[in-house]
Amino acid sequence: EEIPYATAVRIVSVEEKGPENPIVVHGAIAVERESQKGMLIGKGGEMLKRIGTNAREEMERIHDRKFFLDLKVEVRKNWRKDPKQLRRLGYTEDLA
């Protein structure tokens, strides 16, 4: 399956409530158009679920901890051309 190239991920929050509990990560995936949002979510949410599962498993492997990953998809029209939105998504001039 294909993910739209105009996609960015922003970590909204991370909650850690002790070593015995999973680390809770809330993330937002930004796309530029509603059609891209539909493609990313997929039929019945299957694509987003697969993306989230793969990301969660990789985080658990790297950190040797359990994670709960909550992902939302948001449309941010023309985010790649808007300096304010780029900064909000974590992109800075230092990355050039």
The CA radius of gyration of the chain, in Å to the nearest whole number, is 15
What is the domain partition of the chain in residue ranges?
Answer: 8-80
**DSSP code for 3:** -
Q: What is the pLDDT of residues 15-69, one digit of tens each?
A: 999 989 999 999 999 999 999 999 999 999 999 999 999 999 999 999 999 999 9
CATH ID of 8-80, from 3.40.50.10380, 3.90.1150.10, 3.50.50.60, 3.30.300.20: 3.30.300.20
Q: What is the pTM of this model?
A: 0.84
DSSP state of 82: -
Taken as a whole, the chain contains a residue count of: 96
pLDDT, tens digit, for every residue of 58-95?
999 999 999 999 999 999 999 999 999 888 888 876 65
